[in-house]
Amino acid sequence: MDDAFATLLAKRNIEAQALQTHLPEVYARWRGLFDDHHPESFLAQIRFEINATRRRLQGLATPQPLPGPVAEGDTGVLPL
C-alpha cells in the first residue's frame, strides 16, 4: 500500500486497509484518482464523499447494540 495515499486517508480519519477491505469499489476509484492527480485535486474531487465514506466504515466496524429486554409492565411510554 502506498504510504502517501494511506497517510492522506489517515489525515481524514479513514483507515486505508478498512476501506480496501469493506468498500473495494470506493478504494479502487479513489486510488485511481490519487494516482492520476495531485493530492489537492484528488481531495477536491472526493470532498463530498469523505464524510459519508467515513460514516459507512464506522458503521461496519462498530455494530449497533440491540435493544435490551423490556421490563414486565413497561409500556415504553414516558409519563408526562
Domain with 23 in it: 3-61
Give 10-residue mean pLDDT values along the chain (80 residues).
86 94 95 95 94 89 62 62
pLDDT value, residue 53 = 94
Q: Which residue has the cell 478498512?
A: 18
pLDDT value, residue 62 = 62
pTM for this model (two decimals):
0.70
Count of domains in the chain? 1
Residue 7: left if φ>0, alpha if ψ -120 to 50, beta else—which one? alpha
Q: Per the domain annotation, does 76 fall within a domain?
A: no
Q: How far is CA 70 from CA 61, 73, 75, 76, in A?
A: 27, 8, 8, 8
pLDDT value, residue 77 = 64
Q: Per the domain annotation, does 14 fall within a domain?
A: yes
pLDDT value, residue 8 = 95
Q: Per the domain annotation, does 70 fall within a domain?
A: no
Q: Per the domain annotation, does 66 fall within a domain?
A: no
